[in-house]
Copies of this chain bind each other. A is one copy, B any other.
Amino acid sequence: MADDTGSNGTLARIVMKFGGTSMAGTERIRRVAGIVKRQQEAGHAVAVVVSAMAGETDRLVNFCREANALYDPAEYDVVVASGEQVTSGLLALTLQAMGCKARSWLGWQVPIRTDDAHAKARIEDIDADALLASMASGEIAVIPGFQGVSPEGRVTTLGRGGSDTSAVAVAAAVKADRCDIYTDVDGVYTTDPRIVAKARKLPLVTYEEMLELASVGSKVLQTRSVSLAMKEGVRVQVLSSFIDESAPPADDLPGTMIVSDDELEGSDMERQLITGIAADKNEAKVTLTRVPDRPGAVASIFAPLAEANINVDMIIQNVAKEKGETDVTFTVPQADLARALAMLEERKEAIGFFRLISDDHVTKISVVGVGMRSHAGVASTMFKTLADRGINIQAISTSEIKVSVLINADETELAVRVLHTAYGLDAAA
């Protein structure tokens, strides 16, 4: 499905990205170099974005913590950015040893300009001139992921997992025909193949589907990189880096291509109504009983949570049982549960609830698909399928391309399996 040529009919400009597992040691870097070399030999102009060796960033972060528990993020960035600096130099050396022209471009050399939010910087602008000249001359440009340079000329990093974002941003800057993200999975699946043996790899997903799948626990790509790809219209392909080196170039590899709605509609690919099923175990449920049923009561619950940057997802306000009283249930990330409970307990009188109940043994199951927009019945199929198996739905939320329900965590695998079958996603036996 991925065409071998650029949009103007000439050979393509391709950005490739390799993660820490692929870069862990000179032997694996040689394997990566082999994959890169084959792309260049296919006639493409190539830039490569690399992560630090697996484990290296953790080692450097630990040094920072030992040095200063409340570390200055500007100096933290100086230390941790070194991991990608090392792998970019080593990949350039390895490519040269294989007879390719190659050179490394550090964040400040490109430059990849970011804001000054050290340790979680956002890319503002990439000057692509030098990269384009390098690529056009047949040189492979090797770029450390995760790093940039601030307006003050200091080293910045983009936050953990930021190398995916670096790759997409570089692809947008050089107007790449494709951004190939090599990972330790070989694509995006209809659901977690460890749960459902009959899960199928998706040839195509839209940016929005990928965002929903990523944000509910399918950690193939960093969410931020998908948003950026959508905004910039970068075609992203997810591929496995653990392929046979003698295999044909990546264009023919069965990865997953992440595309726009338009491109999806333009493809002659037969699409299921539903793209995938995701399970997210990182939510916790909070219930406040017998909250006064008057204007402002609900706001007095959620306003302080919002101020504390605690992300509230599903919200249900039950029908008043007692006259003038109602139960309010919502979910927050498990990591924020203790903080949320403490805040609510503090405000018990102001809010006027009776009891505060929490449960972190829950899972959010989501069915995702752009087809949902033009089809009815997705939600009722979901409810009926779960009810038939006696799975109790504790909360519901929907978006344009997603229906989510909260269930008991013990029933996660059963729910994913029966929904996968109900929506016709199972691979042919």
Contact = CB atoms under 8 A, between A and B. Distances in A.
A426 interface: no
Interface stretch (A34-42, A82-90, A181-189, A292-300): A82-90
B109 A93 contact: no
Contacts of A428: none
Interface in A130-175: 153-155
A376 interface: no
Given A85-B85, A86-B63, A109-B153, A96 B68 contact: yes
Contacts of A60: 86
A265 to B, nearest CB: 45
A76 interface: yes
Number of copies: 2
A97 interface: yes
The majority secondary structure among interface residues of chain A is helix
A103 interface: yes
Contact of A108 (B29, B69, B108): B108
A86 B82 contact: yes
B93 A71 contact: yes
A103 B79 contact: no
A248 B379 CA distance: 76
A114 interface: no
Nearest to A111: B153
A86 B29 CA distance: 22
Size class of the contact patch on chain A: 35 or more
A145 to B, nearest CB: 15
B75 A93 contact: yes
B76 A109 contact: no
A82 B78 CA distance: 10
A67 B103 contact: no
Contact of A68 (B64, B81, B97, B154): B97
A72 interface: yes
A66 interface: yes
A382 interface: no
A63 B108 CA distance: 23
Interface of A: 26, 29-30, 60, 63-64, 66-72, 74-79, 81-82, 85-86, 88-94, 96-97, 103-104, 106, 108-109, 153-155
12 contacts: A63-B86, A64-B89, A67-B90, A67-B97, A71-B96, A72-B92, A72-B93, A72-B96, A75-B92, A76-B89, A85-B85, A109-B154
